[in-house]
Chains A and B, each alone.
Chain A
Amino acid sequence: MKMDKKKIFAVASIGGHWIQLLRIAKPMEEKFEVVYLCTHPKCATMVEGHQFIQIEDYSRWDAWKMIPSFFRMCRIIRRENPVAIISTGATPGLTCLLAGKMLGKKTIWVDSIANVQHLSLSGRLASKFASRIYTQWKDLATSKITYAGNILGE
């Protein structure tokens, strides 16, 4: 009997975060139904054949936008009902994880490989609540922050 694939969300901002996310989520498409969420509509062309949802863009400098965004994320999560949410950043990804956490979903933060000295601010916030936190640098791993490899594939 063919089982339906579990649905997961993969969410990131355009740029480095998005490129890193694809390198993690693309190979997971075999096991999971991946829904992609990104801050730029044109990124949809990079995940053709998959559901794509555009999300609001903002940074910590216009962080008030997190509030309406948070409620919209909650609606999207309720509607789509993924089992887990993965984000590589930045702030909108963090918001989505928080919404997912509130709704009882598994939440996974993979901190950007650009953060070589310490976790990003979003990563540090995510580590307060997310189910799993990954760093891409061995020397940043702690009891709570896992290193299991990086997006370079080494």
Chain B
Amino acid sequence: MIFVTIGTQVSFDRFIKIIDEVAAQIDEEIVAQVCQLGFETKNIKTIDFLAPDEFNELFSKARLIVSHAGMGTILLALQQHKPIIIFPRVAALGEHRNEHQLATAEKFKELGSVYVAMNEEELKTLLLQNDLRPLAEIGEYASRSLIEAIEDFIG
């Protein structure tokens, strides 16, 4: 199963439309968590609101995660060793308050720890590959140095 998520704040129809289109060529169940979707999808199942536990269940069942460039989803995927494709929201298109997702996506592309699609073509190409593997592993917690710095300060 492929799990698609756009976070909880604003709609991201451009992204869902691309996935719905390419889904016609994919022989695998695709479930998308959406919000305020402005059209009917033909090839993928959409769910409007997911409670955190329902979200986690779908997430852990999924073979592949496809997501907006939100840190929460990126972190969950890295923690659970799932391959993830991120596709940034563009504020200029009204998809976010500022362009930080573009910057996040560029940075993660540089780090090479997740698959990054900056446009429709790249997203379609990645979705049609069926050999995506997790690109990085992270431990359970933040850097020891950061935790210690905070603990020392609190005293």
Taking Cβ atoms with an 8 Å cutoff, the residues of A that contact B are 6, 8, 14-20, 23-24, 26-28, 31-32, 40, 42-43, 45-46, 59, 83-84, 86, 106, 108, 110, 112-117, 120, 131-132, 134, 146, 148-154
Contacts and interface: CB of A to CB of B under 8 A. Distances in A.
A32 B154 contact: yes
Interface of B: 7-8, 51-53, 70-76, 78, 97, 100-101, 103-104, 106-107, 138-151, 153-155
Contact of B72 (A18, A45, A131, A153): A18
Contact of B70 (A15, A40, A84, A149): A15
Contact of A116 (B107, B142, B149): B107
A15 B8 contact: yes
A16 B143 contact: no
Contacts, number: 124
Contacts of A131: 153
A19 B72 contact: yes
A19 B76 contact: yes
Contacts of A153: 138-144
